[in-house]
Amino acid sequence: MEYVLNFREVDQRSIPLVGGKNASLGEMIKAGIRVPPGFAVTTDTYSGFITEAGINDQILSILSDADPDNVDSLNKAGAEAQKLIKGAPISDQVKRAIVEAYSQLCEKCFVEMLPVAVRSSATAEDLPTASFAGQQ
């Protein structure tokens, strides 16, 4: 399982693994466009985290109980799922992979503690059938 991938390693075929924004950054790099260096945490990392934490069934239950036509119900479901995720432990393997990728990024940029931007990159938001990207 690959927990993180460098932007240079991804392209449009990587959308299911890193999302559209990250895949586009990889495509831009391959086209010779200057892009700040970075890396993506993969969907495999998320799936493994949810499974290892044993919260998958709880999250599915919360989501299935939510009323998609009721904003309050959706907000409550989101808050409950977020609480489960925030309270779950992150495996040592995932921590090591992210810390290693960050360390390599710092070395590449010659900065000891490089400030970074963290962005979401949903795997489905850029599909032709999706609208209102980032709001799913």
Can you read off the two tokens belonging to residue 62?
């919360």
pLDDT tens figures, 91-114: 999 999 999 999 999 999 999 999
Can you read off the two tokens belonging to residue 66?
């939510």
pLDDT tens figures, 8-48: 999 999 999 999 999 999 999 999 999 999 999 999 999 99
Architecture of 4-51+92-109 per CATH?
2-Layer Sandwich (3.30)
pLDDT tens figures, 49-105: 999 999 999 999 999 999 999 999 999 999 999 999 999 999 999 999 999 999 999
Place of tokens 């919260």: 55
Domain ranges of the chain: 4-51+92-109
Judge whether residue 117 has pLDDT over 50.
Answer: yes
Query: CA dist 69 to 63, 75, 79, 99, Å?
Result: 13, 11, 17, 40
- Quote the pTM value: 0.79
The pLDDT of residue 127 is 55
Q: What is the DSSP letter of 8?
A: G
Angle among Cα 77, 124, 21 to the nearest 5 degrees reads 110
3-class SS at 74? helix
Neighbours of 18 (CB within 10 A): 27
